[in-house]
């Protein structure tokens, strides 16, 4: 039987390939997005139900079951992160997220598939740690295409808008960016798998005030996040504090 890390990786990869095939058929972009969300969700829930029948599944595409709060194991999945980008021809910044939360340990396994980039980043074989210590000067920071935090512009960093949170964290892990900052609010499934992989690879992940990010909470809304090279965590957190307190 596959262990949890391998299962997360394989399910994210398979869901991603199914989305690639669906996308190839084209058609109305809004219908494509809707079908992508639904079909990927149905595949992941069916597979997890068959392979881990005792576990709960928390998915963006399903109603929340409050019983998960008493569970020892909860899979947190985003069947199609970056639904908007999925429906835009040629864009590669969309992803599939599969993560496992366990009581007493937090996030223990995860995978982010980037199907249009033919990549899967997972806790099976995390990216080989932060390349170098300092990164670029000024740091390259990826932000939301539609809801970039206004304060980032005052931090003296180079800002690059991008789609899916999984794609943004992957850019950091692969050395294409130095940090990902978001402060517009989102949900646990947007970041659970990316954070699991980032931590396994030795990267920093926290709230923008430096406090811990928490999962399988009663309130699924997450206000903000910072994922970056460890050496940049202190300077970026100080910079965020300075620019946000100045407003």
241: number of Cβ within 10 Å: 13
Provide the Cα torsion 93, 165, 25, 119; round to 10°. 60
What's residue 132's pLDDT? 57
Q: Which two tokens stand for residue 146?
A: 């539609």
In angstroms, the CA 175 to CA 66 distance is 38
pLDDT digits (tens, 9 = 90+) for 187-217: 999 999 999 999 999 999 999 999 999 999 9
In angstroms, the CA 27 to CA 48 distance is 30
What's residue 73's pLDDT? 98
What's residue 184's pLDDT? 87
pTM of the model as a whole: 0.96
Residues in the chain: 247
Structural domains in the chain?
Answer: 4-122 (3.30.540.10), 140-245 (3.40.190.80)
Asked if 157 and 243 touch (Cβ cutoff 8 Å), the reply is no
What's residue 19's pLDDT? 98
pLDDT digits (tens, 9 = 90+) for 125-181: 998 876 555 566 899 999 999 888 999 999 999 999 999 999 999 999 999 999 999
Confidence class of residue 74 from pLDDT cuts 50, 70 and 90? very high
> What DSSP assignment string belongs to 20-63?
HHHHHT---HHHHHHHHHHHHHHHHHHHHHHHSTTSEEEETTS-
In angstroms, the CA 214 to CA 221 distance is 10
């Amino acid at each position: 039987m596959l262990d949890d890390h391998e299962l997360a990786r394989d399910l994210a990869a398979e869901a991603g390939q199914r989305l690639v095939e669906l996308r190839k058929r084209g058609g109305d972009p809004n219908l494509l997005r809707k079908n992508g969300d639904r079909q990927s969700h149905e595949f992941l829930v069916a597979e997890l139900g068959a392979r881990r029948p005792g576990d709960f599944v928390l998915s963006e595409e399903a109603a929340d079951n409050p019983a998960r709060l008493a569970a020892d194991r909860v899979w947190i999945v985003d069947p199609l992160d970056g639904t908007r980008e999925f429906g835009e021809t040629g864009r590669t910044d969309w992803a599939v997220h599969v993560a496992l939360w366990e009581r007493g340990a937090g996030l223990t396994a995860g995978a982010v598939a980037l199907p249009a980039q033919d990549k899967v980043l997972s806790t099976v074989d995390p990216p080989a740690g932060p390349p170098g210590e300092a990164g670029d000067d000024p740091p390259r920071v990826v932000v939301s295409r539609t809801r970039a935090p206004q304060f980032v512009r005052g931090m003296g960093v180079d800002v690059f808008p991008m789609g899916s949170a999984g794609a943004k964290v992957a850019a950091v892990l692969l050395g294409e960016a130095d940090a990902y900052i978001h402060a517009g609010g989102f949900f646990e499934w947007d970041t659970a798998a990316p954070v699991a992989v980032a931590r396994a690879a030795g990267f920093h992940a926290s709230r923008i005030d430096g406090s811990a990010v928490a999962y399988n909470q009663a309130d699924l809304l997450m206000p903000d996040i910072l994922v970056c090279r460890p050496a940049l965590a202190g300077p970026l957190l100080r910079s965020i504090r300075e620019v946000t307190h100045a407003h």
